[in-house]
Amino acid sequence: MVPTITDLQPFTECQKKIRAIDDTMDILSGKWKVSILARLCYNPMRYSALLKDINGISGKVLSRELKELEVNELIAREVSPFRPPAVTYRISEYGLTLGALTECLPAWGLQHRERISRAGKAKL
């Protein structure tokens, strides 16, 4: 059911929800963050591997987004002390709490892609 004007719910509840959504989106803001997280959910990756794997990202942007994810403790950065240096990024325990998101985002995307291809209406 699509809500009507009369379905209006308490303002404060909506406001709290909006703020919480903004909090989440702030942390995930950046074109590639969710994509990086999803990859790291599968397995740890080196900087160079991410750079090669993520189509279209530049080194500058990759290192910035990785740093932001690390500051928020969603991923962990591990440096090997040998030469040449090897840096591995892996999802953190806390990053795994985003699991519900990294499940429902692709779930919706899949059904949307099917819907589009059935309808042939929009470009994807």
Q: Which of 63/72 has CB closer to its own copies?
A: 72
* Separation between Cα atoms, residue 68 and residue 52, nearest integer Å: 20
118 vs 21, 90, 104, 111, CA distance in Å?
31, 38, 21, 11
Site for its own copies in 46-65 (CB under 8 A): none
Which of 25-33, 58-66, 79-87 is the region at the interface with its own copies (rule: CB under 8 A)? Answer: 25-33
CA distance 69 to 37: 9
DSSP assignment, residue 11? Answer: H
Asked whether position 112 contacts its own copies by CB under 8 A, the answer is yes
Give residue 81's region: left, alpha or beta (phi > 0; psi -120 to 50): alpha
Residue 62's nearest CA partner among 92, 33, 19 is 33
Binding mask 46-85 for DNA (x = CB under 7 A): xxxx------xxxxxx-xx-xx---------x------xx
Alpha carbons 66 and 77: distance in angstroms, whole number = 9
User: Of 83, 84, 100, 118, which lies in the binding site for its own copies, with binding defined by CB under 8 A?
Assistant: 100
List residues near its own copies by CB under 8 A. 2-5, 7-9, 14, 16-27, 29, 31, 34-35, 38-39, 41-44, 71-72, 76, 90-94, 96-98, 100-102, 104-113, 115, 122, 124
The residue ranges that bind DNA (CB under 7 A) are 30-31, 46-49, 56-61, 63-64, 66-67, 77, 84-88
